[in-house]
């Protein structure tokens, strides 16, 4: 399965259009969006349609929009699926996620882990798994840039052992790919990343 990952498009319709063109040219099977599709909740024209026109998009919300915004967009665009606190199977691959942002408080990490646990329970029988989180994990190279990661995301990586983790939130880390606890972690913040599983 060929997948395009992206995050933090922030209402940039030109960027979203370019990503849609890349998805079409590369013939990706699925697009994953790790949140922050808007800028402070303001909807703008063309923020998601160029992606949904290319096929199915699995998405979680970020800190710039609430879950209601993503639910609304999912109603408008049938190929957009909200992955927050749920799991979906596609081609024997499990996708699960949470859009909750971890701001470094213990409650945030616990909440985020519990949401990922709930989502994982729906696809735990599958051998291949991809986790989507707006927040990056702790122990990431992103922390060397002075940004804290989420203990809840790292705990989920250790517990559920996804093959891939797609995250965003930290724009400066866009395009970074690293391995944490055996999972390939991709920060797709404003940088489309194509991979295969």
DSSP string, 39-64: BTTB--TTSSHHHHTTS-EEE---TT
CA distance 112 to 150: 8
**Predicted local confidence at residue 170, as pLDDT:** 92
Instruction: Give the residue from 170, 175, 90 showing the smallest Cα distance to 137.
Output: 170
| pLDDT tens-digit profile, the chain (197 residues) | 999 999 999 999 999 999 999 999 999 999 999 999 998 777 667 899 999 999 999 999 999 999 999 999 999 999 999 999 999 999 999 999 999 988 877 888 999 999 999 999 999 999 999 999 999 999 898 887 778 889 999 999 999 999 999 999 999 999 999 999 999 999 999 999 999 99
**Predicted local confidence at residue 108, as pLDDT:** 87
β-pairing verdict for 183-187 and 177-180: antiparallel
Q: Which two tokens stand for residue 5?
A: 């990952």
- DSSP code at position 136: P
Q: What is the CATH number of the domain that holds 54?
A: 3.60.21.10
The Cβ-side half-sphere exposure at 178, using a 13 Å CA radius, reads 15
Q: Which residues of 71-86 are buried (b: 16+ CB within 10 A; e: fewer)?
A: eebbeebebbbbbbbb
β-pairing verdict for 80-82 and 57-59: parallel
CA distance 139 to 85: 23
**Predicted local confidence at residue 103, as pLDDT:** 82
**Predicted local confidence at residue 107, as pLDDT:** 85
CA distance 67 to 172: 25
**Predicted local confidence at residue 46, as pLDDT:** 82
**Predicted local confidence at residue 39, as pLDDT:** 84
Range of the domain at 75: 2-196
What's the structural domain count of the chain? 1
**Predicted local confidence at residue 135, as pLDDT:** 95
Sign, Cα dihedral of 65, 117, 140, 151: positive
**Predicted local confidence at residue 75, as pLDDT:** 93
End-to-end CA distance of the chain: 5
β-pairing verdict for 30-33 and 2-6: parallel
């Amino acid at each position: 399965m060929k997948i395009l990952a992206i995050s933090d498009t922030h209402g940039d319709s030109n960027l979203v259009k370019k990503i849609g063109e890349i998805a079409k040219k590369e013939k990706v099977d699925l697009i994953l969006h790790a949140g922050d599709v808007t800028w402070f909740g303001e909807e703008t024209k063309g923020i998601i349609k160029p992606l949904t026109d290319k096929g199915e998009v699995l998405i979680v919300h970020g800190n710039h929009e609430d879950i209601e915004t993503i639910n609304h967009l999912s109603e408008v665009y049938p190929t957009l699926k909200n992955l927050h606190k749920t799991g979906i199977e596609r081609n024997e691959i499990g996708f699960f996620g949470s859009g909750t942002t971890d701001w470094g408080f213990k409650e945030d990490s616990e909440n985020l882990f519990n949401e990922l646990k709930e989502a994982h329970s729906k696809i735990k029988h599958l051998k291949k798994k991809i986790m989507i989180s707006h927040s990056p994990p702790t122990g990431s190279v992103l922390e060397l840039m002075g940004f804290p990661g989420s203990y809840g995301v790292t705990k989920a990586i250790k517990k559920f052992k996804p093959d891939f983790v797609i995250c965003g939130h930290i724009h400066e880390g866009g395009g970074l790919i690293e391995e944490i606890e055996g999972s390939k972690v991709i920060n797709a913040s404003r940088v489309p990343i194509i991979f295969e599983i």
